[in-house]
Amino acid sequence: MKVCIYGAGAIGGYVGVQLKRAGVDVSLIARGAHLEAMRKNGLKLLIDDEERVEHIPCSDNPADFGPQDYVIVALKGHQVPSVVDAMQPLLGNDTAVVTAVNGVPYWYYYKHGDQLEGKTLESIDPGAKQWNGLRPERAIGCIVYPATEVIEPGVIKHVYGDKFPLGEPSGEITDRATKLSEAFSAGGMRAPVLPNIRDELWLKLWGNLCFNPISALTHATLDVIASDPGTRAVAKAMMLEAQEIAVQSGVNFRVGVERRIDGAGAVGAHKTSMLQDLERTRAMEIDPLVTVVQEMGRLAGIPTPTIDIVLSLVRQRAQIAGCYN
C-alpha cells in the first residue's frame, strides 16, 4: 500500500508516523523549515510519554513519489484548491483521495441522491477546481478528531484523540475504504468505515461553524462561549439554522443542540483553531466552516440570518487582520 500525505503538518505528520510504524509505504509532502528538519532528523512524534522518530521520504515536489494508492489531504480546507495542479503526479486511475480536512469537502453533493446531485460549491471549490482535478469518484471522506501541534520544525506533539472515521460518499462499504481502515488500525488509530459519513461530518461541523467565528470575534475560550448566556444563544441559533439545512438533505444528528454545546464547553479553556490563526496572523478557515453553510442554505432555500451576521463580522475581522482573502 502506497500512501502519500499531502500536508505533513500536525495531523498529517501524526498519521504519517503511525502508518509508517505499521509498515505502510508512506511519503510526505511538506515545505519550509518543517520539511528541512524532517529531511535532516526524521519526523519526531511525542505521544504517550515517548518519542517516536521515523525517517519518511518527504519532499515539496509530488512528482518525486508518483502515483499512489491513497493520497491523504491533510491541509486546511481553503488551501486545497491551490494545490490541485501540483497533486496530479500522485493521482493514478485508481488512486483514492482521502479528504482529512475540516468543514465541507468538495465532493459533498456526489452520490448525494437528491436535486442537488452533482452540484459544486463555489465557496470552497471555486471554479470546480477540486471537482474536476481530483474528481469526486476518487474521494473517501475522513473526519479528523485528534488534536496535535507542531511544536518546532520536525517535531509533532500529540495532545489527545485517535479517531478518524472514514466513509464513501455513496455510503457503500468498499474494499478500498476497508483496507485503509485496517492500515489506520494497525498504526494505533481508530478509523471505522461508516455508511453515513455526512452525519459524522455535520456533527463536527456543527460546532466548528459557530464556536470558531464567535471565538475569533470575542477571543473567548470554549468554556466561556458555552456558559455565557449571550454567546451560547448565538451559537445555538447558528446550529439550528445549519441543522435545518442538513436534515433537509437526509442527515441525522445523533445528539441534540444543547448536549453538543455542553460537550464543547466541557473541553474547557481551549482556544479554537480560528482564534489561534487570528492570533498568529495566519489565514482563517472561514469559507470551509461558515461561508459554505450559508451557500448550502441558499441552495436549499433555507434562510440563515444568524450565520449571515456572524459571517459578515468575522470576515471583516479577518480582513482587517490580514487573515482572509
Collapse the DSSP code of 53 into the 3-class scheme (helix H, G, I; strand E, B; otherwise coil) and give the result: strand
Gap between the Cα atoms of 190 and 297, Å rounded: 32
Task: Name the grid cell of 239.
Answer: 446550529
213 contact partners, CB below 8 Å, separation of at least 6 = 274, 286, 289, 290, 310, 311, 313, 314
Strand partners, 28: 5, 58
Q: Are 120 and 106 in contact (CB under 8 A)?
A: yes
Q: Active-site positions?
A: 204
Backbone angle region of 268, left / alpha / beta, with phi > 0 → left and psi within -120 to 50 → alpha:
left
Whole-angstrom distance, CA of residue 217 vs CA of residue 211: 10
| Residue 292 identity | V
Distance CA 185, CA 320 (A): 44
Q: What is the dihedral of CA 286, 290, 293, 295, to 10 degrees?
A: -50
Give SS3 for 146. coil
Residue pair 93/8 in contact (Cβ under 8 Å)? The answer is no
